């Protein structure tokens, strides 16, 4: 009899397991026709971060963006639920939804570029965003990323509220760790977004972001990482288009929906057009300017979507061709870090970095980033770098800044910018290790005088 009883308790468990296996539980496939959800989270209008600091990091279990903190500091939040049909005459909410489906399809069968927009598919393929790669990237994303970054890349996957810093919302097109040369645009024109190079995305995936919950995926191998990076761009471009159109709609502002802001200066416009033509290989530089502007200002969501995706794809292609130049290391290689260089780097750091990295980052004030979430200027005595610890990674951070966190690129002067850049890198590398600092620098960073200044009571 006792044996019978144990069989009774065992049997339902076995049945459940068998059923789970048969029903495909454990496989993480999505039906091809399951759609990406439309954006419902607020659009944070942060053209520049507010001056006043956030009160802290959100408590565990709370979302990364705390609306009350932002509105108390004069930041506007636009709610997609309150979108009106104005100022577009067509039923534009549905049109936007349809456009997103037609250009990006579904998570189970993603693509980039609608079948009736073959030019976009050509650009997407040039960028490596082919349907087969996206399908593989999406499959891996579902297995490895969705619990943190969410199905649409909104950064609110199931475990996100318990993680600090929170997983990234990939839907604005902003990335932190980039190594792209900056486009110089004439004043009065919206700057192009700082796009990452393909390599930057792969680096973040391969190494993870140290000191955060974003793990390393190095074990996957290059081909899988390439596919995931392609899918990250798919999600990001989809989200960015949705974000931009909603932003324009909620501001009731057709201007936001123009790729080029019209400048009173025709001359400037021509220069700008030439620049886009050469850097982004866009349009015929000799074409008529009025015609050019007319084409950029969108007559409809459909035309706008196509133009916008076209532009973003070209920006990514241009980014891949424009790595930030890295000057040669001006000191003997494979030697201990030269004391003169560390001292020179320290001087630059005191002039340009301490207002954010207060007390070398040990007492940094919190800030808002471009997403409206909270970020702390890194504690640079800790030897922990999200964007990588190779000297060249530090060089990229210094020479390019971290645009979404409003960390500016360093001013490296005109005399010998290469040397100044590497001096800062050398200082940063020595900073966490008191024994590597020249004694006067060590005194200033770790000595009792720092305590007397009240820097660290």
Single residue of 134, 156, 205, 337 touching ligand HEC by CB under 6 A: 205
d(Cα 362, Cα 206) in Å, to the nearest integer? 28
Long-range contacts from 92-96, C-beta under 8 angstroms, 24+ separation: 92/245, 92/249, 92/301, 95/300, 95/301, 95/302, 96/242, 96/245, 96/246, 96/301, 96/305
Question: Does residue 230 belong to the site contacting ligand HEC (CB under 6 A)?
Answer: no
> What minimum distance in Å lies between the beta carbon of 27 and ligand HEC?
18
Q: Which is nearer to ligand HEC, 261 or 352 (CB)?
A: 352
Q: With respect to ligand HEC, which residue has the nearer C-beta, 259 or 406?
A: 406
Nearer to ligand HEC, 131 or 210 (CB): 210
- The single residue among 165, 173, 248, 403 that binds ligand HEC, judged by CB under 6 A, is 165
Nearest distance, CB of residue 424 and ligand HEC, angstroms: 5
Query: Dihedral, CA atoms, 123, 110, 196, 262, nearest 10 degrees?
Result: 60
11 vs 162 by CB, closer to ligand HEC: 162
CA-to-CA distance for 102 and 121, rounded, in angstroms? 12
Query: Would you count residue 387 as binding ligand HEC (CB under 6 A)?
Result: yes
Size of the site for ligand HEC (CB under 6 A): 50
Find the shortest distance in angstroms from Cβ 38 to ligand HEC. 22
Stretch that binds ligand HEC, among 51-59, 309-317, 355-363, 429-437 (CB under 6 A): 355-363
Distance CA 224, CA 217 (A): 9
Measured from the CB of residue 280, what is the shortest distance to ligand HEC in angstroms? 22
Can you tell me the distance from the alpha carbon of 246 to that of 310, in angstroms, rounded to the nearest whole number? 19
Please select the residue that binds ligand HEC; options are 167, 248, 372, 421, rule is CB under 6 A.
167
Which residue in the set 144, 161, 185, 260 belongs to the binding site for ligand HEC (CB under 6 A)?
A: 144
Residue 201 touching ligand HEC (CB under 6 A): yes
Residue choice 42, 172, 180, 204 for contact with ligand HEC (CB under 6 A): 204
Half-sphere exposure of 138 (CA within 13 A, CB side): 26
Q: Is 357 in the site for ligand HEC (CB under 6 A)?
A: yes
- Kindly write out the interface string for residues 88-127 of this chain, putting x where it contacts ligand HEC by CB under 6 A and - elsewhere: ----------------------------------------
User: How many degrees, rounded to 5, is the angle at CA 65 between CA 59 and CA 66?
Assistant: 65
Q: Which of 259, 260, 324, 406 binds ligand HEC (CB under 6 A)?
A: 406
- Binding ligand HEC (rule: CB under 6 A), the pick from 64, 124, 129, 214 is 214
* Binding of residue 318 to ligand HEC (CB under 6 A): no
Nearer to ligand HEC, 166 or 241 (CB): 166
**Minimum Å distance from CB 313 to ligand HEC?**
17
Any contact of residue 428 with ligand HEC (CB under 6 A)?
yes
Q: Which residues bind ligand HEC (CB under 6 A)?
A: 141, 144-145, 147-149, 163, 165-168, 175-177, 201, 204-205, 209, 212-215, 217, 228, 232, 349, 352-353, 355-357, 367, 375, 377-378, 380, 385-387, 394, 397-398, 402, 405-408, 410, 424, 428
């Amino acid at each position: 009899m006792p044996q019978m009883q144990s069989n009774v308790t065992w049997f339902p468990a076995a049945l459940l397991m068998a059923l789970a296996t048969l029903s495909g539980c454990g496989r993480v496939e999505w039906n091809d026709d399951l759609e990406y959800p439309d954006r419902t989270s607020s659009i944070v209008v942060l053209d520049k971060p507010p001056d006043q600091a956030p009160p802290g990091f959100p408590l565990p279990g709370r979302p990364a963006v705390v609306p009350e903190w932002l509105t108390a500091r004069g930041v506007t939040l636009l709610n997609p639920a309150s979108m009106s049909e104005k100022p577009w005459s067509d039923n534009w909410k549905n049109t936007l939804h349809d456009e997103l489906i037609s250009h990006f399809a579904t998570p189970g069968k993603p693509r980039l570029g609608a079948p009736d927009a073959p030019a976009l598919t050509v650009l997407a393929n040039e960028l490596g965003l082919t349907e087969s790669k996206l399908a593989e990237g999406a499959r891996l994303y579902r297995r490895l990323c969705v619990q943190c970054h969410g199905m649409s890349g909104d950064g609110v996957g199931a475990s996100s509220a318990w993680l600090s810093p929170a997983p990234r919302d990939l839907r604005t097109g902003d990335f932190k760790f980039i190594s792209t040369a900056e486009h110089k645009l004439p004043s009065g024109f919206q700057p192009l977004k700082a796009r990452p190079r393909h390599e930057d995305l792969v680096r973040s995936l391969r190494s993870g972001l140290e000191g955060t919950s974003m793990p390393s995926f190095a074990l996957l191998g290059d081909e899988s990482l390439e596919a995931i990076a392609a899918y990250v761009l798919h999600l990001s471009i989809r989200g960015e288009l949705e974000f931009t159109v909603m932003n324009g709609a909620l501001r009731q502002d057709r201007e936001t929906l123009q790729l080029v802001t019209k400048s009173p200066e025709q001359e400037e416009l021509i220069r700008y057009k030439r620049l886009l033509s050469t850097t982004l290989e866009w349009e015929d530089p000799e074409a008529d300017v009025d015609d050019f502007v007319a084409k950029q200002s969108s007559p409809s969501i459909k035309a706008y979507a196509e133009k916008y995706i076209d532009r973003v794809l070209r920006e990514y292609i241009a980014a891949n061709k424009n790595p930030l130049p890295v000057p040669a290391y001006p000191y003997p290689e494979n030697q201990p870090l030269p004391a003169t260089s560390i001292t020179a780097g320290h001087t630059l750091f005191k002039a340009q970095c301490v207002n954010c990295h207060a007390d070398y980052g040990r007492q940094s004030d919190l800030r808002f980033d471009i997403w409206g979430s909270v970020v702390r200027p890194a504690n640079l005595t800790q030897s922990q770098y999200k964007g990588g610890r190779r000297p060249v990674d530090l060089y990229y951070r210094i020479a390019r800044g971290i645009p979404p966190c409003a960390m500016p690129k360093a001013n490296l002067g005109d005399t010998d910018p290469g040397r100044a850049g590497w001096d800062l890198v050398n200082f940063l590398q020595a900073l966490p290790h008191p024994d590597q600092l020249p004694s006067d620098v060590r005194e200033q960073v770790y000595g009792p005088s720092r305590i007397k200044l009240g820097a660290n009571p």
